[in-house]
Amino acid sequence: MNINIASMKDLEDLQEVMRSTFVETFGPDNKKEDVEKYIEEELNLEVIKKELITEQAQWFYIEEKGMMVGYLKVNWGDAQTEKLHEEAVEIQRIYVREAFQGRGLGKLLLHKAMEVAKMRKAPYLWLGVWEHNHRAIAFYKAQGFVKFQEHSFLLGEDKQIDHLMKKDM
């Protein structure tokens, strides 16, 4: 399975995989209106386009038979969503379509993020994960991430808590 660097030509495919994986991940446990509001405000083409051309961010995706099945977005410097450590690298987004989970694709994307962090000589790699996403939390713990903080995340009108987890590089 190859991991590709995303570019502007991948914009619409990225949007489609972002929207579908977001609904798969958060739809069953949240109000439909909150999920739809988030998608409309945060996963529209203009927002994604702006994020895609951010200099201190990089996007990757996994494709199978012409379909984008998973993606990763990493940030560093001022592009990080929290100002924790200028030199750190953040995994802002990492998702795999439900039908392709359990095949090690998430681990491949995570290892790509670790490569970026090592290349940038980051002191640590970090991410935020919803406190009720127990499967993801267990996955990150198994990969050596530890919780070090929490922050609020607004999903539509619902204020939620994310665990901030990091792995020293």
Count helices and strands in the chain by DSSP H and E runs: 5, 7
Spatial separation of the C-alpha atoms in residues 107 and 85, rounded to whole Å: 24
From 61, 71, 124, 140, active-site residue: 140
Neighbours of 53 (CB within 10 A): 10
Active-site residue, 71 included: no
Classify residue 94 as left (phi > 0), alpha (psi -120 to 50) or beta: beta
Q: Which residues are catalytic?
A: 140
